[in-house]
Every structure is written in C-alpha cells, then in structure tokens.
Structure 1
Amino acid sequence: MRRRTFLAALPAAAVASKVLAQSRAENPNRNRPDVHGGDRVDGATFASRSAAWGTNGAAATAHPLASLAALDMLRLGGTAVDAAIAANAVLGLVEPIACGIGGDCFVMLSDPKTGKVEGLNGSGRSPRALGLDTVRGRAKNGLIPSYGAISVSVPGAVDAWWTLHQRYGKLPWKDLFAPAVAHAEMGAPVSQNVAYYLGRSLVNFTKPGSGIEEVENFKTVWAAGGATPREGEVFKNPALGRTYRLIAQHGREGFYGGEVAQTIETYFKRIGGWMTKADLADHHARWDPPHRVNYRGVDVWGLSPNSQGLATLQMLNIMETFDFKAMGFQSAAAIHHGVEAKRLAFEDRAKFYADPDFHKTPTEWLLSKDYARQRAKLISPGKILTPVHPGQAPSQGDTTYFTTADASGMMVSIIQSNYRGMGSGLSPDGLGFMFQNRGELFALTDGHANIYAPGKRPFQTIIPGFATKGAQPWLSFGVMGGDMQPQGQAQIISNMVDYGLSVQEAGDSPRWHHGGSSEPTGEAQHGIGVLNLETGVPEATRAALAQIGWKMAADPGGYGGYQAIERWPGRYAAATEMRKDGVALAY
C-alpha cells in the first residue's frame, strides 16, 4: 500500500524510483502503478481515516481482534487495565512477530482516583547463572549475538499484567484470557504484516550460523509443514491456549512457578542455556514514578532507565528552543533540527541509560532546561554537527504498542515486546510462545553503565508515551519499533502541538528515522548516520536536506507503528495508522 499524498498546499511528494523498484522486487504485492490513496473530503489529504470517537471507552491496538477483546472487557464493566491485559493476551497470539508472554512490558497510566500518572517497569533480569566471562566468550565483534540462549532475559510481561490487575483490575483475572484462549484453540486469520514477518523469521532462524540452539519448536508452532502461514490463513496455537489457561487459573504463579516454570528450566538445561525456576520466581515488576518535561504547555511523560523514555523528553527539551511552527510542517529546517536533537539525545542515551540498581543515571541534569539550551546551541541550521558527543555530567554519588481508556478517565499506555522480531528464536517445549532477546542490548565494555552482569536488567528500547494538559490526562500514545520510538514520539507531539494535527493525522503524517548514533551496547556512532524518509516527504524538503549534507535513504517498515487515544471533555478519540494491521475502536 503506497503512502498517501501530502498536504495539497505543500509541494508534491516525489517517489524515488530506485527505492520503489527494490521494495517491489522484495514484495511482488507492491508491483502496482504509481497510484496514491484517494482524496478525503475533509482533513489532511495524507490521513488514512478519521479518528474513532466514543464516550465510554476506547482501544487502539495493532490487530482488530485485540481491539475487540479490549472493548469486550470494557462493555463487561472492566477497567482500562482489564481491557489492556485482554488485548495483550490476544496480541501474543495474533502478532507473535512483535510480542508475547516471553517478552517484557512497560506501562504508564492515569489514575483517576489520585490524579497521578503512574509508571510500571515490567522488564526482566539476566539469568544469575550466566557470568560476564561466558557472555564475552559468545560475543561476536564485541557484541552479544541477537539469537539463542545467550540473548534471553527473564520474561516480565505476565507479572506486569498481574501487578496491574492487583491494583486496578475489576473483572476476574481468568476472564481476561477468554478471548485469547478461544482464538488460540479455534484459530484466527493471519494479517498482512504478521504473515510477512513470520516468513522473514523462518529465514532468519533457520539460516546457517544463526546461533540458535534449536529451531524445531519454532517450526512446530509457526511453520508446520515447512512454511509459515500466508495472509488470511487461519492459524491455531493450542499450546499457547493451554499456557494461557494455566495463567488464567493460577495467576502469576501459572507462569513463574509450577508446570510452566519447570518446563522452562528443563528446556534451557536441554539446550545448554542458563535460565532457572529461581530466576523466574525472583522476578517482580516495579512501580516507577515517571518523569516529565513541559513542551509548549503540554506535559510529556517518560519512564526512567533502564528504558529509553528519557530520550523522548530530552529531544523535546532541545526542540522547544526552536520555533518549529515557523519552520513549517515537513520542512527541511524542521526535520534537520529534529534529527540533530535526536543525535544529541542519543549520545546521552548510549552513555547514561542503564539499570538503576547498578548505575545512577543523572536524570535531573539530563532533563533540565538549562542543559537542553546548552545542547541546542550546538545545532546549526545550515550544517550537520559532527562528531556528536554526550554531555559531561556533573559529579554525583519489532514491539507492539497499544492503548485503552475507560469511562472513569483511566487511560493506559502499554508497550510489550520480544525485541528483535519474534525474539531469540527459542520456544520452550509445548508452551507455544517465544523468548525475548533483550539480553542482546547489554554492553560488554568495562566501565560502561550498561555492562552485562548476572541479575541485571538490560537497556530497554520499549517506551509507552503519555501527555497531560493542566494536570488532566490528554494523550496516551506510542510509536513502536526499536530506536524509532523516541524519534516517533517526539514527531507525534510536535505534529499535534506545533502544527495542530488531529490525533489520527499526527500518526499518518510522513515520518523520518535517523540511524547510526552510538548505542548503549557500546557500538560507536557511524559518522553522521543515515536519514531515512518516508515517500510522503516533499521533494523540495529532500533536496534541501541533501544540500545540507544528509545521507538519505528509504526504509520501508522502519518507521514504527502508532496507536493513540486522545481525551476530550466527555469523550475519547482513538487512532491507528496505515503502517500496521490494527484498528482503533471506541463506543
């Protein structure tokens, strides 16, 4: 599906024929004439649809069945937390290329009783039996491999669900899994994006030298008969359905104890891995008060490290020092300054973000307006800053995103992921899910804040987004996709605050993604990096960016996936976008 045309008042978007030829060769379904989407009678011409409005509640997820499950819980009298858990369980079945109970989970939500924005860190730790020397012995080019047992950390999603439900749930815990169990046992059609990435996963996991200790369990669940399901084929996962039943019956202990935990320990012993029942039993999510910065009158919130939530806030602080509205929507100046803000923030991200139990991040300094102004002075409108360095701190002691809202005013911003694609490539015997590969994100350099250690939480890319106005919840949103997440979140906020776009238009707007910054794994920056632009960015903007000196490319599928709910007096507006297979619903 081609990107929609840009605002009629702006220069027409040009399509790079070389990039399109390449993408069509990789995906024959793209081999169609150069046709853009139809014209809407109202709103931005690039918008895929309007927002879904409702007065009682809303849900926006990356799959229709997950959004329906969320609304079912709301209609039964459940809270937005009940809806989010039910949706996430369904997503683990129908979107396994992004999430599942083998992964981690982070949450921000508005508590209508206290009026506070609450944060929950549901990320797991490295196995305690796995030492640094062993990890270094398995490293490739100084980095932890992407696949196999060496990359697996304890899954945190189920405990995060349990922790949320204990405080904010209203419906019986077991009822939240009924939709997911039914779909797992009876089957559900595979959506377009999921079919594509399942096929990619089969290739990646089975190629020589993948480093995965065993792949037969993956094939049994997702590639029976030697091929992954195509778009529209009905897919069943009774093994996952049975695991969900155990969790529904026994609560948190249905995953971190009993039969499931024993199966996981036995599996890792069989393949030469390190995770144990004790690692699982010791895991607990942590309530983590989020931080905020004010961006032109809107308070934007982010979670602490080990997540990368501060990166969004740092970017916005730097961006606020410039007049983006005067620069113009999708202008070269706006993109240039946004990318430079990203590059500056990401150098701090690479140096300072890590598990706070092992390293104290100078958060107050990183989020200060004074520091942002210092960093902003490094940006020149006509040239690229190079090299980029992190700040000098003062001395001191893909992922799936979805959101739900209910009639009480509670809004839940939740993101859950296996990290790289489906994860590690490892699926425990008979349980129907895959383990995450978040452990890949540790560094191996002595003295690095994010250096690997047993029982430590790795740097995390997944971040929910949240914004308030005048102490009232306003926007629950997220842009899934690795390092695209803070870049995408900053673009969404700017689109709505600086340019007045609606919640749907803000997500459908063409995006940029910059790659090549230093990484928390210890990987150094690659020159000025590469600026990826969606095809909807105007040709005049591309030409001006090239004149500044940016190296540009297209990256189909690399611009994240957006879901959002915006709160208005007495009603909600829910949004999704064309880049994923999801749907936004409200009632």
Structure 2
Amino acid sequence: MPSPVQINWSVIDNPPLVLQRFPSRRSVVYGTKGIVSSSQPLATEAGLEILRKGGNAADAAVATSAALNVTEPSCCGIGGDAFCLFYDAKTKQVKALNGSGRSPEKLTLEYARSRGLTGHSIPTTDLNAVTVPGCAAAWVDTVEQFGSGKLSVADILAPAIRLAEEGVPVSEIHSYSWQRSENLIKNASPTLPNLARTFREVSEKGKDGFYKGRIAEAIVDLIQSKGGVMELEDLAKHETSFVEPIHYKYAGELKVYECPPNGQGITALIALGILESLQEQGIVKPLLEMEHNSPEYLHVLVETMRLAFADSQHYVADPDVAHIPVSEMLSKKYLDARAKLLNPTKTTPNVVHGNPVNSSDTVYFSVTDKWGNACSYIQSNYAGFGTAAIPKGCGFTLQNRGSGFVLQEGHANMLEGGKRPYHTIIPCMVTRNDDLFLSYGVMGGFMQPQGHVQVLLNILRGFTPQAALDAPRFCISAGSPETQNSSTGTPGDINSEVYFEEGIPEATINKLREMGHDARLATGFSRGMLGRGQVIQKINDASGQTVWAAGSDPRADGHAAAEI
C-alpha cells in the first residue's frame, strides 16, 4: 500500500535559493592548538591538514588559500592578488607581505585613450584591466619567508590539488555567485583538472612554474588576442614585496596593524584615529557608552568612515611611484583637525580630502598555530570572477585589478605602466602590549576597512568573536565611477548612500534619515555587501595557557575549526 505522505524530492535535491534571516546560532570555536577560520569548510580542512603535518600558520594559510581557489573561484584564485600579515610569536613582531601585481609596462594612459577608454576607469571586462597576478608568488614567498621550514610548497598545495582533481560540491551562498555570473562565464567556465595542472607546475617549479613557461605564455597570448599589451617580461620580473606594516595605537595598549599602501588599510587606521580624537576632544561621548547600533553610534561611525575614505581615495596609490603621506595622515595633529569636521547631530555634505602634508570580490581567512603564530591572509580576483578570461589549459580566471586605476592625468593613482593600483583587499591584526590579540578581517571591496572598525569595536564591547561577526553592520557606498568628480578623481558625493543590514530596527534607520543620511536597507543576498569576516582571538586562561577563540561569518558558507 503506497504511503499517503508525498515527498517532493526535486525540491529536496534542488532547494530554492533563499538566504534566510540569520536562522542559525553559531557558537565560538575554541582550541588550544591551531585554528583555521575561512569561508569554505573544505578550505578550512585543507589548512587543518597542514597544521596536523607540522606546518605553521603561514603554511596552513597557503593551503587554505589554494583550496579556496577550488571551492570559491568567483572570489579568488591564482589569477589574482594576495596580501598577508604574519605574527611571529618568537619575536612578537608583525610582518607584512604585499602580493599585488603591476600593470604592463606598455599600458599607458595614452594607450588607454587610444582604445576609446574615456571614463573614470578601465572596464572590468577589458583585458587591459589585467595586472600581473601576484597570488602564485605570494604563496611561494609566504612559505619561504614565514613558513615552518618543515613542509615544501608541493606538500602545502597537495590538498588543493586533490580537491581540484576529485571535484568539489558548490556550497549554498557561493552558488549564488555562480548564478549571478552565469552570462559572464558560461563560455569560459574554469575547469578543475586544468587548475590542478597549474598548481602542480607551481609545486614542481616554484614561481618560475607560473611566471615563465607554459602558463605565462597562455596568459600573454590571451591578453594580446583581446587588444592588451602585457608581455612575457611583465610576468617574468614580478616580485612580491615584503613591507613594513603600518599601525595605529588605539586606547593606549592596542596596536591595529594594516598593510601599507597601495592597499586601503590606512582607511581603517584614519577612522580609528578620528574616533579616538572625537572622544578625547569631547565632541562625542565615549563610544562604548553609546547603545550598540543606536542612531547616535551609527551616525558617528558612518561620518568618520566618510572622512577616512575622502583621504584614502585621494592619496592611496603605488608608493614606488607616488609619495603617500602615511605618517602625516596618522598624526595626532591631522586626526584632531579631521575630527573637528564631524557634526554629531547631522551629516556633513560634500566631504573632501584633507591636506596632511600641510597641516574590493575577495576571500579572507585567518590561521593560528600551536606555537602562537598567526597569519591574517586575503586574496581576490577583484570583481567576482575577475575578467572571466581563462588562459588556455590553465583553469583559472584573470583578475581585473587594473580597474582600480584612475584614468586622469596627474592623479596619484593614475594609470601608468609598471604600477600597482589602489588595492581594496586588506588583512588586519591587533596586538595588546605587543602580544597577539586578534587576527581578523572582513572581505568585500570598500566594505573592508568599515568592517575592520565595526568588528573591532564590537570585540571591545565584550562581544565574542562570533557575536562580533553576527551583529548587523552598515556599509557606506564608495561611490560609483559615474559619480566620480572629474576634477579630483574621487567620488563627488563621497559615500552618500549608506546601507544598513536587516536586524537594525526600522526606527533607527528612519532616525538616521532625519539626520541627513541617504539610508537604505540591505536584505537577502544584498547583505553580501556587508562583507564576510573571520576572527581569531587570543585568550590567556587563568593558568596562562593560550586558548584560541574563533568566529566565522554567517554571511558566508564556511566555519572555524580547531586542530586537535
């Protein structure tokens, strides 16, 4: 006799694509050895595998990074760039790696104009937007400079190669990225066997396996076939930069570290400096005494971020080509002056950059190890699958990071040959009296410095790492190319639109509108603009033993997991 219960198995096998309103409650993940926190469970497992084999945080970070290329290719890959901060537990020093690539030497502003590019930036699908991919070199150099020395690059890439050869299922939220990019990639879908082959060449030949030979030739052939000017020499001379991280000392004992320009990490530091000055000068009451995500609190943070972006979008460029007044922008005198521009009761129209001399799709993950080291790592294709152009037989898409250049003569970030563009991807790390406190980040274009500030302040309120990520966030628009001010190359209505995530009460949003904000509500998949973060916090228990406490963003598919 047939059962009266009828099951629609097609719905079960292919559930509707609906992002629920935070239906789950995630607990903090604790561990006394290593922890990996990433946006994809299989990538987290790849990192744990390397920790179990004796690798340190840097080794495991590279394994996680490569696995994310397989599991989340719409956001990152070996055809993109990478940055990292590494905390060395022995020396208690934070070290920085800039793995971003440069534009082709022959790519000049004049050439771009000759191709009819008259807008603010190079279109994201134009192959002249491809800068030299820095990720492959960053992987090798991370292992060689920060790794344990116990494992080879081949050992570390092995889990990702295995995933690529065997195939992986597509997870819930990432499936939306595939569907959203269907028209872009349908004629050039990345193939995992070819990606595994690319990884093997890097495993066997190191950086030469990517920047010379078959892969380099395939990259150049594709770009030149579409009117690009990249040459083999552009790839062959690429180098990772090991740079001195920049930091801001907040609340007396915390040092918040960011990679220096050409990254936008300085935006977060400027914002923290303005926030501290606002409280010191009595312009606003102490932030931690304000109700969390109240109109008063959100207004101060939004206005501060607008001021910070006005500066970073004007000054940040390739420091090898343009002078960037980093120390001046982070000086107390300058930050105090910027703080005085903020009105605590209403928005300030027409925010512009100051003059300190005279007065962004991505994956982020964090790894710690049993020796106390930490690696805060980030990589990106820039816009989704990047250009969606796949070099023949390589299995990865090429980034479009060159769209970050400004097509304006005289701007610090103007397009020039052999130059690195303004870069959105930024890892973060915080020490407390020089001991590691947080290894964290929030991915997502111009959301990243905003996320760094919001999540850090949540932690300082006493939120757990998971609660700090769960809390609803805001994202101020960085301005679209169509709204750029042609005379300055920066957004004329800088950050005018402010998106507040569902979970922030309607009454709060209405109050912010009364204060002058162009406040919008972000719901469903549009919540992706609020970024996806990972946090690992170091806690010393009563006996002095280190305990790692980790959270992973519910806006992504991944989780944190601890080594046993």
Same fold (TM over 0.5): yes
**2:436 paired with 1:473:** yes
What residue in structure 2 maps to residue 515 of structure 1?
477
What residue in structure 2 maps to residue 174 of structure 1?
154
What residue in structure 2 maps to residue 226 of structure 1?
none
**2:205 paired with 1:250:** yes
The AA in structure 2 aligned to 1:561 is: R
Q: Provide the C-alpha distance between the structure 1 equivalents of 2:156 and 2:245, rounded to a whole number of angstroms.
A: 27
The 10-residue stretch of structure 1 (306-315 or 543-552) with the greater mean CA deviation from structure 2? 543-552
What is the CA-CA distance between 1:327 and the residue it aligns to? 1.8
The AA in structure 2 aligned to 1:562 is: G
2:538 to 540, 561, 567: 567
Cα pair 1:148 1:426 within 8 Å, conserved: no
Cα gap change, 1:132 to 1:114, in 2 (>3 Å): same
What is the CA-CA distance between 1:135 and the residue it aligns to? 1.4
SS of structure 2 residue aligned to 1:572: strand
What is the CA-CA distance between 1:541 and the residue it aligns to? 1.7
**2:224 paired with 1:269:** yes
For residues 527-566 of structure 1, the C-alpha deviation after alignment (integer angstroms, 9 at most, x for no partner) is: 6611100111123322321221211112321100001111
What residue in structure 1 maps to residue 464 of structure 2?
502
Q: Provide the C-alpha distance between the structure 1 equivalents of 2:496 and 2:400, rounded to a whole number of angstroms.
A: 25
- CA RMSD, aligned part only? 1.9
What residue in structure 2 maps to residue 192 of structure 1?
172
Q: Provide the C-alpha distance between the structure 2 equivalents of 1:310 and 1:186, rounded to a whole number of angstroms.
A: 41
2:391 to 420, 423, 428: 428
SS of structure 1 residue aligned to 2:350: coil
**2:439 paired with 1:453:** no
**2:355 paired with 1:392:** yes
What residue in structure 2 maps to residue 529 of structure 1?
496
What residue in structure 2 maps to residue 489 of structure 1?
452
For residues 226-283 of structure 1, the C-alpha deviation after alignment (integer angstroms, 9 at most, x for no partner) is: xxxxxxxxxx610101111111111111111122112222222333322222111111
Q: Provide the C-alpha distance between the structure 2 equivalents of 1:373 and 1:36, rounded to a whole number of angstroms.
A: 39
For residues 2-24 of structure 1, the C-alpha deviation after alignment (integer angstroms, 9 at most, x for no partner) is: xxxxxxxxxxxxxxxxxxxxxxx
For residues 405-441 of structure 1, the C-alpha deviation after alignment (integer angstroms, 9 at most, x for no partner) is: 1111110001000001110121100100001000001
Cα pair 1:138 1:145 within 8 Å, conserved: no
What residue in structure 1 maps to residue 23 of structure 2?
37
SS of structure 1 residue aligned to 2:530: coil
Cα gap change, 1:31 to 1:103, in 2 (>3 Å): closer
**Pairs aligned (count):** 523
Percent sequence identity over aligned pairs: 39
1:301 to 250, 254, 257: 257
For residues 20-67 of structure 1, the C-alpha deviation after alignment (integer angstroms, 9 at most, x for no partner) is: xxxxxxx964398xx7636xxxxxxxxx31211111100001100010
The AA in structure 2 aligned to 1:494 is: L
1:539 to 506, 520, 524: 506
Q: Provide the C-alpha distance between the structure 2 equivalents of 1:138 and 1:424, rounded to a whole number of angstroms.
A: 19
Cα gap change, 1:252 to 1:527, in 2 (>3 Å): closer
What residue in structure 2 maps to residue 369 of structure 1?
332
Cα pair 1:96 1:422 within 8 Å, conserved: yes
What residue in structure 1 maps to residue 105 of structure 2?
128
**2:134 paired with 1:156:** yes
The AA in structure 1 aligned to 2:553 is: E
What residue in structure 1 maps to residue 94 of structure 2?
117
What is the CA-CA distance between 1:143 and the residue it aligns to? 2.4
2:271 to 308, 312, 315: 315
What is the CA-CA distance between 1:71 and the residue it aligns to? 0.5
The AA in structure 1 aligned to 2:59 is: D
The AA in structure 1 aligned to 2:266 is: L
Cα pair 1:386 1:528 within 8 Å, conserved: no
The 10-residue stretch of structure 1 (545-554 or 499-508) with the greater mean CA deviation from structure 2? 545-554
Q: Provide the C-alpha distance between the structure 2 equivalents of 1:36 and 1:268, rounded to a whole number of angstroms.
A: 42
Cα gap change, 1:161 to 1:516, in 2 (>3 Å): closer
Q: Provide the C-alpha distance between the structure 2 equivalents of 1:183 and 1:84, rounded to a whole number of angstroms.
A: 16
1:412 to 348, 354, 375: 375
The AA in structure 2 aligned to 1:565 is: I
SS of structure 2 residue aligned to 1:188: coil
Cα gap change, 1:124 to 1:536, in 2 (>3 Å): same
Q: Provide the C-alpha distance between the structure 1 equivalents of 2:110 and 2:56, rounded to a whole number of angstroms.
A: 46
When normalised by structure 2's length, the TM-score is 0.89
Q: Provide the C-alpha distance between the structure 2 equivalents of 1:528 and 1:116, rounded to a whole number of angstroms.
A: 35
What is the CA-CA distance between 1:524 and the residue it aligns to? 2.4
Q: Provide the C-alpha distance between the structure 2 equivalents of 1:439 and 1:565, rounded to a whole number of angstroms.
A: 32
Cα pair 1:102 1:157 within 8 Å, conserved: yes
The AA in structure 1 aligned to 2:452 is: Q
Q: Provide the C-alpha distance between the structure 2 equivalents of 1:385 and 1:277, rounded to a whole number of angstroms.
A: 49
1:98 to 72, 75, 78: 75
Q: Provide the C-alpha distance between the structure 2 equivalents of 1:571 and 1:197, rounded to a whole number of angstroms.
A: 35
**2:558 paired with 1:558:** no
What is the CA-CA distance between 1:192 and the residue it aligns to? 1.4
Q: Provide the C-alpha distance between the structure 2 equivalents of 1:332 and 1:269, rounded to a whole number of angstroms.
A: 52
Gaps of 5+ in 2: 1-14, 280-285, 541-545
1:50 to 24, 27, 30: 27
Cα gap change, 1:36 to 1:117, in 2 (>3 Å): closer
What residue in structure 2 maps to residue 578 of structure 1?
554
Cα pair 1:327 1:334 within 8 Å, conserved: yes
When normalised by structure 1's length, the TM-score is 0.86
Q: Provide the C-alpha distance between the structure 1 equivalents of 2:196 and 2:313, rounded to a whole number of angstroms.
A: 39
Cα pair 2:120 2:484 within 8 Å, conserved: no
What residue in structure 2 maps to residue 87 of structure 1?
64
What is the CA-CA distance between 1:516 and the residue it aligns to? 4.4
Cα gap change, 1:243 to 1:51, in 2 (>3 Å): same
The AA in structure 1 aligned to 2:291 is: G
Q: Provide the C-alpha distance between the structure 2 equivalents of 1:134 and 1:373, rounded to a whole number of angstroms.
A: 43
Gaps of 5+ in 1: 1-26, 39-47, 207-215, 222-235
Cα pair 1:119 1:303 within 8 Å, conserved: yes
**2:497 paired with 1:549:** no
Q: Provide the C-alpha distance between the structure 2 equivalents of 1:471 and 1:537, rounded to a whole number of angstroms.
A: 35
Cα gap change, 1:583 to 1:519, in 2 (>3 Å): farther
The AA in structure 2 aligned to 1:505 is: A
Cα pair 1:138 1:150 within 8 Å, conserved: no
For residues 187-227 of structure 1, the C-alpha deviation after alignment (integer angstroms, 9 at most, x for no partner) is: 11001122111121122457xxxxxxxxx4x24x3xxxxxx
What residue in structure 2 maps to residue 288 of structure 1?
243
The AA in structure 2 aligned to 1:186 is: E
The AA in structure 2 aligned to 1:560 is: G
Q: Provide the C-alpha distance between the structure 2 equivalents of 1:96 and 1:122, rounded to a whole number of angstroms.
A: 18
